[in-house]
Structure 1
């Protein structure tokens, strides 16, 4: 490969790529946030019972179960660039279709398909960004994707309440608003190149170096050790090799334990808060989502300083303690309930940044998107089960018992993470994806 090129880097390429990936995550958060607010209106308008409401609430998560692995496989096989735009186009079309459904099952089908596009985004966006980003600050860039997710979710909650209560807009049009940020994201992604690390894995190293030199400058290719990537065969067999298999198992467990309590509680946040006799569930829901966005921001700003393990393990224990207190203190004042949920929200979001970091750093290029897609699918199975069962659980077991079950999930995540989580801070992407899966010393 020649290093003679002197082509100057295009200014702001990494900023544009980061923004294009972050907006994709924001679209996903926005879509799920809109449903959390509109679901009671949908259930009333379409005559959906508790089971149907649970299925609609969990529909996107079910779609991710299919879309994540499928898009990951296609992305590893055919490249990041194609799927990077196709999934947004599908999202726009499906988002608009939500406005014309007339039956609960129709909305369920549309939102399952929307979930498939969201699963595709999880498998593509973070991999695309990481495979260009420098090792220094890579965690902060990837964490920024989750900040965008929480900002998107918070924005959706605020916009939904304003459009429903203040403007009096139909829930149909509120759902359709998710197509707007998707259109913006499509424009941001026009003209972006293929991932150089993926090109190298396909034996196209010269093409990869030309892309890196033209977009990021001569010398970046060597400085970030792109040459350490090899021409490797991907596919499910490669992903399930012993080392990769252990990494994938850890990613699935910690990711599932992070999102299951979050989606179960926040998809039905107004219902949960109302069942706890909170005077203003809407204000409580907005407050908790604002705290979550703040937690994600703090996590992004601190991840390179405190390291991955410190950001992962203690937060599981704090979340478990907060949910246990809510579950056991049945007569707690509303302010105390919101404060405990705020602690949970803050820690959950701070920790959730690692769902955009660990899966990318721990899997090699040739199976990265496939593995991330499968991990996203597994995590959403846990989230979908929790989301589906929560309204039934509140009716049969009570809110307190549901919070104790959620606390138990956090304890499981803490134990598994303590035993398996490696420290990858400051290490090159090629190194982190092939290092043995062992916890840091001490």
Structure 2
């Protein structure tokens, strides 16, 4: 009898706790607060560091040609090294979905900074290549894990906006790398200068202490721990949404699910747009000095400055446009305009220099506008259970595209000239656009609701 009473009391307590959980408001509806701001700026600093490391590579290795025996193949490999490392996004996403987001983000910028500094101490091409790959792997954590934890912590009404804003800061980091390359003459200092931004991001993250993702904890069946994290950071009246309270720990998501009936369209669309966009963007951006020289631009510095300013302007315009348009329209229109610009430049090489520069600037702005899709659209394509795995796979495929563009561009320029190179970039973007026209789903909540009415 006493044992039955004890069991009854235990059951009553369990139900009371459950009712308390259900009475709390969803933490996704909480107002933007300190924890959101701290997490957001922790990721902003990481994006600036990531973009700087990617952007500085082309200028550094272009300078290094005068001191090292670098042929076109090695130039392409070194430029693509960090992008090849970024292909590890899929692995990082799998680790994150299984073991959580927090610890990866707390450690990666320290490792990134150490690898950046080590570049100063070697001129061995193979070692430099390995260090670039390692830096790319650390960047993969910020891209994949950072975006997952951001969208899982941010209030629903702020999530897409904050994600798209990250791209603006990314463009600042990329532009900063161009300016730094004009003032730093030593190629080794160029490469290791990224450690400064990496350490700033790492120290900030250590100070604010990035919290665990409540959504991820709930997906692992750790509801009580998720509630503690929410209450510690937001207050006692906030808790898990009811949909997550009903979630029990499931088997880990299998990568094969990405190609199953439920996700194959999302996987193909994400891969097609991101990989083809990255091929053109990074192929042109990282080796911009070589491309401009072969296009007979009279003032390479002015042209490069305009290009990098166009990236910042394009990203800012994209932020303004992004939530006013459907995701499908945003993708297809920006890609189409970029394709037209590339084909004009490729097929009419005798255009006056000023007109060539104007069209090239328009291309840069519009392709930069399309970058707004990179973070927001990829996370919207996949649900919580498989999000980091799906985003990781898409980013991995995009880095395959980026690495291919970066590796092939100096070789194609040398063999066939700048105008054929631009034509190749246009064809690659066209392939991505055609695939997305047929399979890309709409994910903008405003337009999804309209379609369902």
TM-score, L = length of structure 1: 0.90
1:218 Cα offset (Å): 5.2
For the 8 Å contact 1:135–1:224, the answer to whether it is kept is no
1:235 Cα offset (Å): 3.4
1:9 Cα offset (Å): 8.3
Determine the structure 2 residue equivalent to 1:188: 204
For the 8 Å contact 2:32–2:155, the answer to whether it is kept is no
Q: 1:81-121 CA distances to partner (integer Å, 9 max, x unpaired)?
A: 01112221210110001101122222111111111111222
**1:83 is aligned to 2:104:** yes
**1:342 is aligned to 2:342:** no
1:225 Cα offset (Å): 5.8
Q: Which residue of 388, 393, 400 maps to 2:407?
A: 388
Q: Distance in 2 between matches of 1:335 and 1:193?
A: 51
For the 8 Å contact 2:267–2:394, the answer to whether it is kept is yes
Q: Which residue of 56, 60, 63 maps to 1:34?
A: 56
Q: Distance in 1 between matches of 2:36 and 2:372?
A: 19
Relative distance call for 1:292 and 1:21 in structure 2 (3 A) is same
Q: Which residue of 107, 122, 135 maps to 2:156?
A: 135
Aligned ranges 1:38-437 → 2 under 5 Å: 38-65=60-87, 67-164=88-185, 170-190=186-206, 191-217=209-235, 221=239, 226-227=244-245, 231-233=249-251, 234-426=253-445
Q: How many residues align?
A: 427
Q: Distance in 2 between matches of 1:74 and 1:306?
A: 34
Query: Of the two, which has the highest radius of gyration?
Result: 2
1:287 Cα offset (Å): 1.3
TM-score, L = length of structure 2: 0.88
- Deviating more after overlay: 419-428 vs 302-311: 419-428
Q: Distance in 2 between matches of 1:232 and 1:143?
A: 31
Q: Secondary structure at the match of 2:157?
A: coil
For the 8 Å contact 2:79–2:407, the answer to whether it is kept is yes
Q: 1:29-60 CA distances to partner (integer Å, 9 max, x unpaired)?
A: 00011112222111221221111111111111
Q: Secondary structure at the match of 1:197?
A: helix
Question: Is there any run of 5+ residues in structure 2 with no aligned partner, and where?
Answer: 1-17
Over the aligned positions, Cα root-mean-square deviation in angstroms equals 2.5
**1:16 is aligned to 2:38:** yes
Question: Is there any run of 5+ residues in structure 1 with no aligned partner, and where?
Answer: 165-169
